[in-house]
C-alpha cells in the first residue's frame, strides 16, 4: 500500500513496536510524493502513551547497541524487557 496522496499523518496511539509506525510513515514518504509531509503525534504526559513512547525509544537504543555488539544481544534484550515490565508495574502501584 502506497499512500502518496496523503500529506499528513496523525499518530494517536503509539505501537509497542516502533517499526509499525515507521512503516506507516514510510508509505506516505514513498517515491511519487510531491507534497511536504507533516506528522503530528498526540501524547498525554504521564499516560500509557508516554510509557509506550519511552519503550519505543528504549527499543531503538537497544537495536543500535545490538547491531554494534551482536554477541550480547539475547542477554541485553531479556534484561531490558524485565526492567521495563517491572518499572511499569511499580509506577502503576505507587
What separation in angstroms does the CA of 56 have from each of 14, 53, 93? Answer: 9, 5, 22
Q: State the pTM of this model.
A: 0.60
Q: Give the model's pLDDT for residue 92.
A: 55
Compute φ and ψ for 63, nearest 5 degrees. -65, -40
Q: Give the model's pLDDT for residue 71.
A: 63
Residues 43, 49: contact at Cβ < 8 Å?
Answer: yes
State the residue for C-alpha cell 509506525. Answer: 21
Residues 92, 28: Cα–Cα separation, whole Å: 36
Q: Which residue has the higher pLDDT, 66 or 32?
A: 32
Q: Tell me: the pLDDT tens digits for 70-85?
A: 666 667 667 777 777 7
Using only C-alpha atoms, what is the Rg of the chain?
Answer: 16
Q: Which of 12, 5, 11 is nearest to 25 (CA)?
A: 11
Q: Tell me: the pLDDT tens digits for 33-52?
A: 888 999 999 999 889 999 99
Q: Give the model's pLDDT for residue 11.
A: 92
Amino acid at each position: 500500500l502506497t499512500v502518496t496522496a496523503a500529506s499528513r499523518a496523525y499518530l494517536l496511539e503509539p505501537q509497542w513496536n516502533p517499526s509499525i509506525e515507521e512503516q506507516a510513515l514510510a508509505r506516505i514518504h514513498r517515491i511519487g510524493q510531491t507534497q511536504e509531509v507533516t506528522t503530528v503525534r498526540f501524547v498525554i504526559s504521564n499516560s500509557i502513551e508516554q510509557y509506550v513512547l519511552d519503550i519505543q525509544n528504549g527499543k531503538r537504543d537497544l537495536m543500535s547497541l545490538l547491531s554494534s555488539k551482536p554477541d550480547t544481544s539475547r542477554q541485553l534484550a531479556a534484561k531490558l524487557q524485565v526492567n521495563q515490565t517491572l518499572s511499569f508495574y511499580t509506577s502503576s502501584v505507587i
